[in-house]
Amino acid sequence: MQNDQLALAQTRGSVDPRVKRPLPAWVSTTALLLPTYGWLTIAIFLPLLTMLAFSFMSATPMGKTPVEFTLKQYRAFIDQPYLLRIGFNSLMMGFWTTLFCAILGFLAAVALVRATVGKTRETLLVLILLPFWTNGLVRVFSWTMVLRENGFLDNILHMVVPDAGSISILYTRYAVVLGLVHGYLPYMILTCYIALVTIDDAIIEAAASLGARWWTILYKILIPMAAPGLISGAVLIFIPVIGSFMEPRILGGRVGVTMGTVIEDQFTQAFNWPLGASLSFTLLAVVLAIFATFSGVLRGRTAG
Amino acid sequence: MRQLGRFYLIAILLFLYTPIAVMMAMGFNESPLYELPFTFSTRWYEALLSNQPLLKAGANSIIIALITAVIATTLGTMASVALSRRTFRGKSLLQLLLLPPIAIPWLITGTAMLIFFYWSGIGRGMHALLIGHVALAIPYVVLVVGTGFKTVRADLEEAAMSLGSTPVHAFFSVTLPLLYPSILGAALFAFAVSLDQFVISYFLATPGYTTLPVQIYSAIRKGFTPEINAISTLLLLGSMAVILIFARFAKPGDTRDKR
């Protein structure tokens, strides 16, 4: 009975004159893909190419000054040595942020996997990841409330020690790193958690019952298992951190001068777009080099 | 050991939430200079009601986020159909090309957009912000909907077609209803991405057309009152609500077969 209907439907399908001959598959595939990639071309790829072109110009092509082809924008690091120091500071800011995130995040992932189960674990994961998807600017702003002179931290301190001075660290590099760690820690917890959640409890119990101490378990089992998570977390944190500009601006004040803020200045204050473009491309080169180095690990993550 | 682990996780949560809680509390404190002791007051929320620039920026943010969600979800779902269900040459290259909007620091993408939009005559303002926000949201939509596709069996659509349904009809009547939680989740995600976007908006906004984060940033740099805490609190609660609804719909870790 069913088969009859199926056969009927099939014949109807092929005979029915209203049914047009199907278009070749590549036509519909192209039609499905074109809007997305057309949009990305206008919004991402053409802008990056234009910026590359601008980085070889001698001046912003807006006024009357003639614009020539030049490589001088890329010599900025030699011509203006202070840029080297700023670049180094940015890398250090990325290094410390990534390191603190790695230590705190790895331990949090271990605690999640080993000390929680079921609903509690799910709730904790949601709570940890929730701030990550809220406005980063607002979270940085809230640190100024905590760190400022006579702010939350000072008040807590004065409750304990009434006549102590201020321990405000606002407008220091510590504040910048603290704000960045706060912003990116959930990333590291997530990548480490994904790597560790596959560990079979039996392995750790077996190790423990065979007399392994906790540090042996840590170095021989947990860290090697978490390594892909640690690496991809580190890459995904280091890259946005070295390009950050609002965190150093708001929490660092005068000492918060980084590659990010220098680039921002070229576009919003100094109006030197070619220099901004060449600095942006130098930063992009660093980013791409990092991705190329770790692409194997990152691909393993997305495939698994 | 187990106790220590739980204690540590609570400490991490305190670290993550204390500044946010302090910031929110200060929006309800009477003193314009954030002075303590704490005196409860709603004056800053009342002041918001008459702060036209902030309200306008807030309305702009919501409108942009809504339009971004609609466009990005439509385009991203179409692309996801092709990337999940079709085989063709260059597919892995196309998948790789979805990464730049997510992976390149927004400072670089944002300044590049500023240069190109200026140079090509597209200019800045609402349309420029939309072009940028949609581009940032599309990769997430493709990802979320693509994950959804893994839970919908391809042979259901084939079965419908073998029963005489056209491919288009089979997609709309069989696959789409099964896919709809993922699509709705993707739309919420796109909405949240746009609502929270600051860097790109910062470079593409004009003095006459800004979004809430851009307005908050300029307030932070030029001097501010607890009004900023009040609006920040609303923005934060808004995006948290959107993400919690998203988590409810999309269940990112859920790959059970839906039949």
| Integer CA distances (angstroms), A87 to A91, A262, B152, B199, in order | 6, 10, 48, 20
Are A135 and B198 within 8 A, CB to CB?
yes
Interface of B with A in 220-259 (CB under 8 A): 220-221, 228-229, 232, 235-236, 239-240, 243-244, 247
Task: With beta carbons under 8 A apart, name residues in chain A contacting B22.
Answer: 142, 145-146, 152
- Residue ranges of alpha helices (H) inside chain A are 2-15, 25-40, 46-54, 76-79, 82-115, 118-129, 136-147, 152-160, 173-196, 201-209, 214-217, 223-242, 246-247, 259-268, 273-303
Q: Are B57 and B210 in contact (CB under 8 A)?
A: yes
Please name the residues in contact with B98: beta carbons below 8 A apart, sequence gap of 6 or more. Answer: A40, B138, B139, B142, B143
Comparing CB atoms, the residue among B8, B103, B132 nearest residue A108 is B8
Average pLDDT of chain A is 86
Are B100 and A150 within 8 A, CB to CB?
no
* CATH assignment at residue A98: 1.10.3720.10
**Is there a domain that residue A175 lies in?**
yes
Q: A99-133 pLDDT, tens per residue?
A: 999 999 999 999 999 888 888 898 999 999 998 88
HSE, CB side, 13 Å, CA atoms: give it for residue B164: 13
- Gap from B51 CA to chain A (nearest CA, Å): 19
Q: How many domains are there within chain A?
A: 1
Give the residue on B whose Cα is nearest the Cα of A21: B166
What 3-state DSSP class applies to A16? coil
Are B196 and A107 within 8 A, CB to CB?
no
Could you tell me the fold of the domain covering B52-250? Answer: MetI-like fold (1.10.3720)
- Gap from B243 CA to chain A (nearest CA, Å): 7
Residue A219: φ, ψ to 5°: -80, -30
CA–chain centroid gap for A265, Å, is 22
Angle at B17 (CA atoms; ends B217, B69), nearest 5 degrees: 55
Are B240 and A130 within 8 A, CB to CB?
yes
Give the residue on B whose Cα is nearest the Cα of A41: B135
Are B135 and A39 within 8 A, CB to CB?
yes
Provide the token pair at B42.
Answer: 């709603």
Are B235 and A276 within 8 A, CB to CB?
no
CA gap B80, B83 in Å, rounded: 5
pLDDT at residue number B135: 97
| Integer CA distances (angstroms), B157 to A11, A229, B167, B170, in order | 18, 37, 8, 6
Nearest to A246 by CA among A168, A180, A147, A152: A180
**First-residue to last-residue Cα distance in chain B:** 43
pLDDT at residue number A300: 60
Comparing CB atoms, the residue among A29, A36, A277 nearest residue B75 is A36
Task: With beta carbons under 8 A apart, name residues in chain A contacting B164.
Answer: 9-10, 12-13
10-residue averages of pLDDT along chain B (259 residues): 89 96 93 83 91 93 97 96 88 92 93 95 94 96 90 82 82 86 90 93 94 93 88 92 80 45
Q: Are B104 and B42 in contact (CB under 8 A)?
A: no
Q: A213-258 pLDDT, tens per residue?
A: 888 888 888 999 899 999 999 999 999 999 999 999 999 988 889 9
Are B34 and A19 within 8 A, CB to CB?
no
pLDDT at residue number A304: 35
Give the residue on A whose Cα is nearest the Cα of B231: A138
Query: Above pLDDT 70, what percent of chain A?
Result: 90
Give the residue on A whose Cα is nearest the Cα of B79: A33
Interface of B with A in 27-86 (CB under 8 A): 34-36, 74-76, 78-79, 81-83, 86
Q: A70-95 pLDDT, tens per residue?
A: 888 888 888 888 899 999 999 999 99
- Gap from B188 CA to chain A (nearest CA, Å): 12
Q: Are A175 and A97 in contact (CB under 8 A)?
A: no
pLDDT at residue number A65: 73
Please name the residues in contact with B76: beta carbons below 8 A apart, sequence gap of 6 or more. Answer: A36, B137, B138, B139, B140, B141, B142, B145, B186, B190
Domain ranges within chain B, ordered by starting residue: 1-41, 52-250
Q: Are A296 and A272 in contact (CB under 8 A)?
A: no
CA–chain centroid gap for B254, Å, is 21
Give the residue on B whose Cα is nearest the Cα of A186: B16
What 3-state DSSP class applies to A63? coil
Q: Are B129 and B201 in contact (CB under 8 A)?
A: yes
Are A134 and B135 within 8 A, CB to CB?
no
pLDDT at residue number A303: 41
- Residue ranges of alpha helices (H) inside B86-105 are 91-96, 100-103
Query: CB of B168 within 8 Å of any CB in chain A?
Result: no
What 3-state DSSP class applies to B60? helix
| Integer CA distances (angstroms), B18 to A267, B68, B220, in order | 35, 32, 20
Q: Which amino acid is at A289?
A: A
Are B9 and A152 within 8 A, CB to CB?
no
Q: A135-170 pLDDT, tens per residue?
A: 889 999 999 999 988 888 888 888 888 887 788 889
Tell me how many residue pairs between chain A and chain B have CB atoms under 8 A apart: 250
Question: Which comes out higher in pLDDT, residue A115 or A276?
Answer: A276
pLDDT at residue number A19: 55
Task: With beta carbons under 8 A apart, name residues in chain A contacting B188.
Answer: none
Best probe of the B interface among A20, A27, A114, A138, by most B CBs < 10 A, is A138
How does residue A22 score in pLDDT terms, banded at 50, 70 and 90?
Answer: low
Q: Are B141 and B189 in contact (CB under 8 A)?
A: yes
- Gap from B102 CA to chain A (nearest CA, Å): 10
pLDDT at residue number A273: 92
B125 — alpha (psi -120 to 50), left (phi > 0) or beta? left
- Gap from A203 CA to chain B (nearest CA, Å): 17
Domain containing A124 equals: 83-303
| pLDDT at A12 exceeding the cut of 70 | no
CB-based contacts of B7-10 (< 8 A; 24+ apart in sequence): B8/A107, B8/A108, B8/A111, B9/A108, B9/A111, B9/A112, B9/A115, B9/A116, B9/A124
Comparing CB atoms, the residue among A136, A143, A263 nearest residue B107 is A263
- Gap from A61 CA to chain B (nearest CA, Å): 9
Comparing CB atoms, the residue among B108, B135, B239 nearest residue A135 is B239
Nearest to B161 by CA among A9, A230, A189, A100: A9
Please name the residues in contact with B90: beta carbons below 8 A apart, sequence gap of 6 or more. Answer: none
